Structure 1
Amino acid sequence: MKNLKLGISALALTLASTAFAQTTSNPWVIGVGAHGVNHMGVANGGVDKVFDNFDQVFTLNNYTITPPLSKLTIARNLNKYFVLDWQTSVGNIDNKRFDMGKEFFLQTGLGLQFKFAGLWNEESWFDPYARVGANYLRHDYSGLTFPRYDNANDVLRGTYNSDDVTGKANHFSAAAGLGANLWLTKNFGFNLQGDYVATPGDNTNVPDFWQASASLMFRFGNTDRDKDGIKDSEDACPDEPGLAQFQGCPDTDGDGVADKDDNCPEVAGPVENNGCPWPDTDGDGVLDKDDACPSVAGPAANNGCPWPDTDGDGVLDKDDACPTVPGLKELNGCPRKVAEDVTGQLKDILFNFNKATLRPESEPKLDAAAAYLKQYGNGKYLVIGHTDKKGTDAYNLKLSRERAAAVVKALEARGVSADQLKSRGVGSAQATEPATASDEARLKDRKVVVEEITTLWESLPKHDIPAPAKKAPAKKKK
């Protein structure tokens, strides 16, 4: 009874130390269960004959089975491949191999497991492993007398105190075996384990045995150091409170990029720019990534580039009806069409019938045309007279020349530079209405047109009116 109390105390000490250890981070496992010891499966010989009686390992009657809560396992994952454990077994165990009555049994020690599931998925419900361990074993063989029959191997073992006998109560044992955890939930499962336990410090294998165990396994130790509600084992940032969608990592600027992946954790920015805002170097409201001219401000409508003004007239090309010729804003970037405008101002000026003299009603039009030319006319202009088709060609040509010259003289009289104006008549050459048309229809052919001349100006006469023919000298009377 004293020995059994000692064993229970050892189990309690192990459990208490585990409860302390569970305050550290990363997963721990506690298992409680029962175990059975089988001496009949041990062969009579060395290590090379361990499996000679292997068939007897599977015979249930060969086991001394202890009650529940006779085995305690404490384990800690080192990584996804290795687990360090502390296993303790206790009970009253006999040795059927030598007909030894039940003696107090205590085995406790450390083991190292290799997790096969780490090769494919360490969180698998099926969690097999291979294990080796080193233990302290208390099983008293000091009262066992020899010679004694070896029931497992059907031989007679030697005499007491011979090299073939052990009389020790305390042993160093080494264990090797296989096991598997079957996880029903993330934190609860079953364990099955089988080991061969040898006592290499003895001269015999009398204390050697096979051991099988079954336990209930409980996972603990998934702490939450940063108190964000996400267990450290699932928390990518266990020391910083974070969000579940970022595996426990914070997102300080709330831009949807976790701080650990955010190059600008305190300034919101898009995921595609690693959490940093896109820059706008020129401050034009068009982000550099979309700005064709990132260092020069420009509107979004032109991809962040300033609108060009090819002719430099202050009217942007997009609004300039004449983008390659300097012009005026009020004319949509086009230059004034002085000749065309003056022609409009001189429309329907009136001459006395069959004469080249201007009628008083034409004065306002001449005043407007002269004022316009003085303000805007900086070129050379040819005033061209036209007539309708009524009358002879010679007559019409002469009349058109004289009327064009009359308009030039009237404009010059109003201050237009004489160097800017010349006249010419074309008669009815460009008339469109027939001579038989009504006077109203033929009115559009009777006009004065102004054209700007940029070449051959010097070759043109001031007026194309021929000089009057010289009269023949009078004959002297005889």
Structure 2
Amino acid sequence: MKHLNKLIVAACMAVGLNAQAQDENNPWAVSFGVNAVDTRTSTADDFGDRFSQFFDAKDHWNILPSVSYLNVSRYVGSNLSVGLTGSVNRIDKLVEKDANGNRIVTNPGDLSYFGLDAAVKYSFMKPLNSKWFDPALYVGGGYLWWGDENTGTFNFGAQFNFWITENVAFSLQSGYKKSFADRVEVPSHFQHMAGLTFKFGGKDTDKDGIYDKDDMCPNEPGLKQFQGCPDSDGDGIPDKDDQCPNEAGTAEFQGCPDSDGDGIADRNDACPDVAGPKELNGCPDGDGDGIADKDDKCPTQAGPKENGGCPWPDSDGDGVLDKDDMCPDVKGTAANRGCPEVTEEVMKQLNDYARTILFNSGKSTFKDETMPVLENMKNILKEYPHAKFSIEGHTDSDGSNALNQTLSENRAAAVKTYLIEHGIDAGRLRSVGFGETQPIASNKTAAGKAQNRRVEVKLIKE
């Protein structure tokens, strides 16, 4: 019995080492019961003789009147399981042949018997589509301690489980153990077993009576008809497929309601309590301009979406709608996108001012009396907020060409900088210098030179 205890401990350790590998309903099974050892096969003259008087237990079966085997097995898939069996017995009936070749049963001296066997078993329960009858075939090997002898064995046989409940079965097993030792030392023999089998290991995390393997929602208690998933709102659609799990709805809308009956589920309906067309997400359009009333700034007047559903205004009354009017507060012309056009008179006035700009001698800084002139130019430019202008600087011929070129550029840039600093958009202005290359009068007289030292403004046409 001491050896049997060791086998039971070893089997329990095997269960513990694999307890996390559960992927089928009740993958583990433990069997225990009684076993019988029959040595009659060692004296058989042919294969058929091995099975004669197979169930003649009284004459040649060795049985202990107590639990004498323990099996632990693990289902691995495809109707296959692997198992480990420990068994113990006492050999007091040994079948031998006498000098005349007749079978006789002797007592070898109550030999101890300990077996440790591993096997792979194939169950026919699923292929037979049975609910309770579970026949199986197995093959494997083991090691046997027979009195003072020991040897390895090759094993094969059949097992029959009769499932009384889902987890408990009455089990019968009969198998042949082919000994690798000498026949006299450790004979080949049959071993029969009868006992109970208990399946366990099925995991039901949410305790809803459905194993995790078959439970589509293993962490939430649910209903069998929904494979273990809940239906919180009771609309017949499981929460996992219900887009509105807490509101009863219809299958048409994946479990969501349609309160206003406009054919749009509330979750997709921007106006769930008022019927409206699908193209406006379920909201009404009172003025028929294609803009939902909730987004329409003028719900009783049709207008474009770009203006919030209101008609476009023409604030300055120049015939150019504000949306197209670059100068919506100043009357202009359609040709100039609603802005007033820069006339020749305006350009003449600008240049009259520009020619009176005075710089300090040889510099690009302004004389004080020029400031009113620059202010007047700025005010004119502001009247034409989208017109672009070129500021051009010129000099007389005094000094070198290089110096005159630089001075003209700097003076034109100074005018541009002043206008920008006083509110004119930089993108509307550019400056350029021409030095002494474009005189408008003779540089031989003081009056001519004075005319040549000038700033001009030109309209940039695009």
- Normalising by structure 2, we get a TM-score of 0.49
CA radius of gyration, larger in: 1
